Amino acid sequence: MKALRAFSVLCVLGAMGACSLNKPVTGIDRSTATSGTIAGLVSTDDGKTPVSGRKVTVINTTTKTRFDATTATDGGYTLQVPAGHYGIDVELRAGERLEKRPEPTDVGAGDLDAGRDFVIGR
């Protein structure tokens, strides 16, 4: 399971270089797509050190439906969600604060919304 998650994160991260934020992924038949993907990294030290094992939660601002993922060893997370508007949050531990957090985002069917990164400070 961990290998599959790591492979998925690597695939998404590889695709991030080819995609812009809030832009559809080309080559997908959007007429049959019902969901999109939110992906990003969680790190410390101004983005230099990945943070693994952290829960990332996205919340649909209309329906209040929550979706959770846990960051991989490279700090990456990926969540497939129904089309909608989402707020994104990460689990913090005692003494930590967010130095960078992603803005809420609109995800369309077939979209890859990558680069939704967090930087944790201590």
Q: Is the pTM of this model over 0.75?
A: no
Residue 28 lies in a domain: no
pLDDT digits (tens, 9 = 90+) for 39-74: 999 999 999 999 999 999 999 999 999 999 999 999
Beta strands in 45-115 (DSSP E): 49-50, 55-60, 66-70, 76-82, 84-90, 97-100, 105-107, 112-113
Domain count for the chain, please give it.
Answer: 1
Q: Which domain holds residue 105?
A: 2-21+33-121
Residue with tokens 């649909």: 60
Residue 27 lies in a domain: no
Which parts of the chain sit beneath pLDDT 70?
Answer: 1-33
Six-digit token string for 11: 């695939």
Q: What is the CATH number of the domain that holds 95?
A: 2.60.40.10
Residue 38 lies in a domain: yes
